[in-house]
Structure 1
Amino acid sequence: MAAFGRWKAQRLARADCSRKGALDERAAGVVRLLNGRAPFCTTSSCAGRLVLAEGGAAGDGGGIPVPKRHCRWLLVAHEPCGRADVMAALEKATGNVVFKFEPFVLHVLCQELRDAQLLHSVAIESGFKNSGITVSRGGKIMMAVRSAHCLEVPLSHMGKLMVSEEYIEFLVHVANQKMEENARRIDRFYKGLEAALEAAGGVSSSSSTEPGQAQAVYVRRRKRGTARAQGVLCSPEDRNEELEPGDDPQGSLDIFAGITL
């Protein structure tokens, strides 16, 4: 479809509006591989990271979730870190601090439903079991690569550390192991994607399934019990690229998002 090609060219010509302002090195290979194929356009990505986030100031009463845009990042690492890194960052805390590992996440706009299905199959086989396909009310088909291979643990409350340094050392060890597994999954996904695209002959965009027909399929299967419960791990402003207004998963119909580990 000519319209998809024009939209993709405009989308890829935009400046990167993420905080980092550039692709994460570990995700760059997958992003470039997909954007080099006519039926795909990546809209957001995060290679995976360790985060120490402060989500509330002292005296806020605690217990109330704070949106990511209101968080203060005390530490962000895309590679394994050490206990000393976390302890040094905690010295700056005055509110409620959470330590997180957020795994690889990628959103890809697909020209046809079968293009999204190919990506979904590779993602599941690579270990990204929470991956899913959505179609927006405007007919855009989005493939989300994601997993439940995450970690989130509160460490301090109103500036007071609630755990021991020994526990933090253990926690960092677990998070680093998850980071290493995340890297292996990205590598499997890249290699599987290369093989699948080659086998599919570049994934021809000529398909008899029109956007309207694809949406009808999603409507029949929209009632997935866990679809709304699964959140995107990296908010648009934190990822390497931003989502389009019409691509918000909350305004879409899900088909494969019910798959979990």
Structure 2
Amino acid sequence: MAAFARRKAQRLARPDSSRKRALDARAAGLVRLLNARERFCTTSSCDGRVVLAVGPGPRMGAGMGVLADTDGTGIQKKNCTWLLVTHDPCVKGDVMTALEKATGDVVFKFEPFVLHVLCQELQDAQMLHSVAVDSGFRNSGITVGRGGKITMAVRSTHCLEVPLSHKGRLMVSEEYIEFLVHVANQKMEENIRRIDRFHKGLELALEAAVPADTLFPEGPEKSHSVYVHRRKRRTAQEQANLSGELKPQDDTESSLDLFAEIMI
């Protein structure tokens, strides 16, 4: 526990390395909600965006330096020029204007919400994973790294990536670009709904799953990182098993695939 607390303190003490030097608006509430709990520490986030890029684009959420610029043009990062970035619904006119500056291969992308969270214990990550999947983020997963570092990634599959030009030559019609913008905006709206469901579901889950060491900080159970409501449920099941009223069942939590790639 002390090691996790030190790691969290070090992580949160780092300056925000994104261009905006601030959290994306729709992700900020979730980040603060999790970081207020001693068992969680967010490491990167993006609330979803539409990108017009020249060259290979960076993967979202690779670290703290996730770009969160809503009006920048000519943004250079990792061998890629971003002509347009917006975290709000896109406008076709902005896309056409940005394309006029392009001389290479341009790709139009929609990238949904992503969040990476360090968790103190596996059961903490399992709880987050359950809420994320129930909220529509079905590509979420858990990884366990060196030294037992547990990371929960909230991810979705409703992405969009379409090439528009090659060596500066536009390969699609303006009508098709208008269609793509419409599709991207629909995906953005669904992305916002999923973020809202995840936020509400997470608030309920955290309220229902208060760790024993939070309820009784000075008590004898402080060293046991067990969620109270889960312990009560297991105790009731064990009593029923002893009385013959309930047959033993497999623990569904133990069957969680740590590298789940659940597709919609």
Q: Compute the TM-score of the two structures, normalised by the length of structure 1.
A: 0.76
One-letter identity of the residue aligned with 2:9: A
Q: Name the % identity.
A: 75
Distance 1:133 1:16 in 2: 24
Task: Give the structure 1 partner of residue 258 of structure 2.
Answer: 255
Q: 1:129 to 1:204 in 2, by over 3 A?
A: farther
Tell me if the contact between 1:120 and 1:145 (Cα under 8 Å) persists in the aligned partners: yes
Task: Give the structure 2 partner of residue 36 of structure 1.
Answer: 36
Q: 1:89 to 1:155 in 2, by over 3 A?
A: same
CA deviation vs aligned residue, 1:146-172 (integer Å, no higher than 9, x gap):
010110000000000000000000100
Gaps of 5+ in 1: 56-65, 209-219, 223-253
Distance 2:90 2:202 in 1: 29
Tell me if the contact between 1:39 and 1:204 (Cα under 8 Å) persists in the aligned partners: no
> What are the within-5 Å matches in structure 2 for residues 60-209 of structure 1?
66=56, 68=58, 69-201=78-210, 206-207=224-225
Superposition deviation, residue 137 in structure 1: 2.2
Superposition deviation, residue 204 in structure 1: 5.1
Superposition deviation, residue 22 in structure 1: 1.1
Flag the structure with more relative contact order, 1 or 2, with Cα contacts below 8 A and sequence separation at least 6.
1
Tell me if the contact between 1:95 and 1:157 (Cα under 8 Å) persists in the aligned partners: yes
Superposition deviation, residue 201 in structure 1: 1.7
Superposition deviation, residue 202 in structure 1: 5.1
Which secondary structure does the structure 2 equivalent of 1:31 belong to? helix
If you compute each CA radius of gyration, which structure gives the higher value, 1 or 2?
A: 2
Q: Compute the TM-score of the two structures, normalised by the length of structure 2.
A: 0.76
Aligned length: 209
Distance 2:202 2:211 in 1: 11
Q: 1:128 to 1:204 in 2, by over 3 A?
A: farther
- Moved beyond 6 Å, runs of 4+: none
Which secondary structure does the structure 1 equivalent of 2:93 belong to? helix
Distance 2:213 2:90 in 1: 43
Cα RMSD, aligned residues only: 1.9
Which secondary structure does the structure 2 equivalent of 1:138 belong to? helix
Q: 1:85 to 1:34 in 2, by over 3 A?
A: same
Which secondary structure does the structure 1 equivalent of 2:109 belong to? strand
Tell me if the contact between 2:211 and 2:225 (Cα under 8 Å) persists in the aligned partners: no
Q: 1:204 to 1:166 in 2, by over 3 A?
A: farther
Q: 1:204 to 1:93 in 2, by over 3 A?
A: farther
Q: 1:174 to 1:99 in 2, by over 3 A?
A: same
